[in-house]
Structure 1
Amino acid sequence: MSPVVAVAVPADLRALFFPDDALSGLGEPRVAADGADLGAPEVLAELAGPADVLVTSWPCAAVTGAVLAASPSLRLVAHTGASVKPYVGLDAFERGVRVTQAGAAMARAVGEQAVALTLALLHRVHRFDSALRSGTPWTQAKVAPPRHELAGSAVGVVGASRTGRAYIELVRSLGGVVTVADPYLSASEAASLGVRVAGLDDVLRGSRVLALHAPVLPETRRMIGARELALLPDGALLVNTARAALVDGDALLAELRSGRLDAAIDVFDEQPLPVGHPLRSLPNVLLTPHEAGGTVEARARGGRLVAAEIGRFLGGEPLQHEVTSDQLARLG
């Protein structure tokens, strides 16, 4: 009997992740009905019930408890996004279910958006746009803090992750001078990336732009607090396309309200970001709704990656993007 692959991805996202029958080599996938509430455990359990492999996306309920109990044949969860923490329980690993994810497919898209945000901040595009949209007179709208080019600017990167490396490559190609804070980046890797490695405090003190690309782990949660933000030079720029939990949100809001720093933020402690949130009204803040990895190309790459991982799994080959139970336990 052929393995059953259940695809818990809404139709609109399925069209992006799996265009041109990307799953066609995996038999007849069992797909979610249009409009199905995949966030409801009972709906996901019904879809996953006979499956050997379950493909998930962010509207899904977690594969734990009742969902897991209803899926006795399940052997692999393949997530189309990066962070699997909200979608898989440790009980799945205890039962021998393996997990893989498509974060690598998003690195270029996130890196590009982080560069776009960096350039916008350096040129104060967000301030000009805010002034003109709010009806500020032309001559006053021209007033902004000093603007800079990326070439020659000191750029600090926290975390030489996949997205961090994509960002570094692009920033360096435009002449940015990059220093990285990452205790796991070796001297040889730093040399190949063309970056200098330093401690976090040194990176903060010397950065015109600070870009966050670290994972959320116990040691990185709220790593950028009031003390760290105070180390940034006046007029410095913060770009966060990684995770909100890396930053003390209250401390950042206080700095932004003072006008000392500008920031571009794609990730938030509370999502959706409330309509009345103070970040929405600050002229020195550029906001995007957690969409840095959402390009057409990244989605299609993610689908191909997931399909390839499923093919490897069913063929008895090693997975290339597996998440282990130890890794899950450490994720924030």
Structure 2
Amino acid sequence: MNSNNAVVQSPALKILLSVPEAEFDSFFPPSTLAALAELGHVTVVPPEALQSSKAFAEVAEDVEIAITAWGFPRLDATHLALAPKLRCVLHAASSVHFLVSEDFWEAGIPISQSGAAMAPAVAELSLTFTLALLRRVERLDHSLRSGRTWEDARMAPRAREISGACIGVVGASRTGRRYIEACTALGAEVRVYDPYLSADDPLARLSTSLEKLCAASDVVAVHAPQTPETRGLIGRDQLALLQDGTAFVNTARSTIVDMDALYAEVSSGRIDAALDVFDLEPLPIDDRWRSLPNALLTPHIAGATVDSRRRAGQIVVDELRRFLAGEPLEHAVTRTDLEKMG
């Protein structure tokens, strides 16, 4: 959708659809956009065009439903005053920390997010990383590409299979649970660290301490949210407990891990790592991580698949239908929820 103010004609409900222009067609292909247009009068304005108060006011004055994504202005007192008819916010992405404010919560406006759309994609990349590191793919590939001989390349540490391997999962989040299902289906023995697991949770039987998990696992995969409580959760002491040859996978957030301590362990060759997230993004061309032969890296793209984007757009449409029918939002976020969410 290339127009900054494209309008889809339909009924009277005023809907503002504001996702980054580069991602618009991924989230809202024609069929999804048509379904949305059946529910209201849709005005499409990318968030980059709403950054000034004047521009926001011109669009938001009559808006009842705001469909947002990254880059949308923070809904503070100023912006809420410019959108006096706002009844509901449907976030097409995951984290809403940047979007909401105390003034927003005080206004009592319901909000929902589409993080569930990305969970299968993130879990799948985490599984891909797990299998690759167990089979030493990153080391073998680097050896063959860097000019080492065939024989030298074959001298990489002997590969492991996932069946029978001990997989330690930090965080029983949506993605963590999808990852656990996949690993278990492939025959892995899974252990979980999550202090919020209740006694009646199906994963409670797999629960262990973080220290025991680190010491016993062949693979440690991070699936915890980024919160003040999880910042620096895995530090030098925890990483020192990892066995030689352990694989470390992080598709969550870099702040959960002491990245300097992790780099020291990986650069020594003692453990291998696969990372989708970094302290500094975009990752500089000359960043230290890029040269490590036992590190597998991707540019914070775990949740970005064709399928996940389409699911997110569909979640928005389904949530709007529920809201208009007076039904509870399936993916609602409350102030209390946000304390435990990334």
Report matched runs for 1:63-78 at 5 Å. 63-78=75-90
- Could you tell me whether the CA contact under 8 Å between 1:153 and 1:177 is conserved in 2? yes
Pick from 50, 64, 80 the counterpart of residue 62 of structure 2. 50
Kindly tell me: are residues 194 and 285 of structure 1, through their superposed partners in 2, closer, same or farther at Cα, counting changes over 3 Å?
same
What residue ranges of structure 1 are gaps of 5+ in the alignment? none
Deviates more, 1:205-214 or 1:57-66: 57-66
- State the secondary structure of the residue aligned to 2:130: helix
Deviates more, 1:61-70 or 1:177-186: 61-70
Question: What is residue 106 of structure 2 aligned with on the other side?
Answer: 94
Question: What is residue 212 of structure 1 aligned with on the other side?
Answer: 222
Kindly tell me: are residues 269 and 69 of structure 1, through their superposed partners in 2, closer, same or farther at Cα, counting changes over 3 Å?
farther
Question: What is residue 141 of structure 1 aligned with on the other side?
Answer: 153
Kindly tell me: are residues 44 and 239 of structure 1, through their superposed partners in 2, closer, same or farther at Cα, counting changes over 3 Å?
farther
Alpha-carbon shift at residue 264 of structure 1 (Å): 0.8
Tell me the number of residue pairs that the alignment of Structure 1 and Structure 2 aligns.
328
Pick from 153, 161, 164 the counterpart of residue 176 of structure 2. 164
Q: Which whole-Å CA distance do the structure 1 matches of 2:314 and 2:43 have between them?
A: 17
Structure 2 residue 95 is the aligned partner of structure 1 residue 83:
yes
Q: Which whole-Å CA distance do the structure 1 matches of 2:241 and 2:52 have between them?
A: 46
Kindly tell me: are residues 45 and 89 of structure 1, through their superposed partners in 2, closer, same or farther at Cα, counting changes over 3 Å?
farther
Alpha-carbon shift at residue 329 of structure 1 (Å): 4.8
Alpha-carbon deviations, 1:165-199, whole Å to 9, x = none? 10011111111110111122244433xx5962111
- Could you tell me whether the CA contact under 8 Å between 2:20 and 2:70 is conserved in 1? no
Q: TM-score, normalised by structure 1?
A: 0.92
- State the secondary structure of the residue aligned to 2:80: helix
Pick from 45, 48, 52 the counterpart of residue 37 of structure 1. 48
Pick from 162, 165, 185 the counterpart of residue 173 of structure 1. 185
- Could you tell me whether the CA contact under 8 Å between 1:41 and 1:67 is conserved in 2? no
Question: What is residue 28 of structure 1 aligned with on the other side?
Answer: 41
Report matched runs for 1:1-332 at 5 Å. 2-19=12-29, 20=31, 21-32=34-45, 37-38=48-49, 40-42=51-53, 43-190=55-202, 196-329=206-339, 331=341
Q: What code does the residue aligned with 2:196 have?
A: Y
Q: Which whole-Å CA distance do the structure 2 matches of 1:149 and 1:228 have between them?
A: 24
Kindly tell me: are residues 47 and 125 of structure 1, through their superposed partners in 2, closer, same or farther at Cα, counting changes over 3 Å?
farther
Alpha-carbon shift at residue 331 of structure 1 (Å): 4.8
What residue ranges of structure 2 are gaps of 5+ in the alignment? 1-10
Q: Which whole-Å CA distance do the structure 1 matches of 2:92 and 2:18 have between them?
A: 10
Q: TM-score, normalised by structure 2?
A: 0.89
- Could you tell me whether the CA contact under 8 Å between 2:230 and 2:256 is conserved in 1? yes
Identity %: 47
